[in-house]
Amino acid sequence: MALTDQMVRASKLEVPFYEEVERDVNQTTNALTVVVITAVAAGVSATISGVIHGAGTGPILVGLIGGIIAAVIGWAVWCGIVYFVGTSLFGGTATWGEVLRTVGFAQSPNVLHIFGFIPVLGGLINFVAAIWTLIAGIVAVRQSLDISTGAAIVVSVIGAIVYAVIFLVIGAVLGLGNLLVGAVS
């Protein structure tokens, strides 16, 4: 099956698809590819916006490459947190790889971020893609950990909070806090 067909099935929230991906260790590379594709889609949109607003090529390229790296690292870290919380606190039965595969494919709706540069409509598309991806992520967590939908929501929320704390701590350690404060003021 073509990767695009798999992304469509993931976006359609097809539970049997998530079950297939969970079991198929050969799909880990495809899940990673989905994460990279969606990061590139967001990066292309940001690049178009940057060009429209006169940004230089240096910052655009750094942003694009940094965005892809951040997406891959973020995916792995968030899946690790969800795996730990889901198996330790909620009795989920999964491997980290199963969570990686299902959650990676759950990112499929984020390919719509490529349209984010479109004035007004782009913001709406990004919002819809984010909500859609959130729902797909909950389905992925539920299916990979074999837990209830309610438990999957709680695991995802705990995962998001822990992930945000980790991000803030790393940002503070690296001195990004001063950079962010300067950008806001």
- Token representation of residue 15: 């539970």
Residue showing tokens 């949109």 = 45
Give me the domain span that covers residue 115. Answer: 3-184
Written as one letter, the residue type at 113 is: H
- In the chain, DSSP assigns E strands to none
Number of other CB atoms surrounding residue 152 within 10 Å: 24
User: Residue 184 has what pLDDT?
Assistant: 45
Q: Is the pLDDT of residue 182 over 60?
A: no
Is 90 within 8 Å of 147 (Cβ atoms)?
yes
For 140-175, write each residue's pLDDT tens digit. Answer: 999 999 999 999 999 999 999 999 898 888 777 776
For 47-75, write each residue's pLDDT tens digit. Answer: 888 888 777 777 777 778 888 998 999 99
Is 93 within 8 Å of 151 (Cβ atoms)?
no
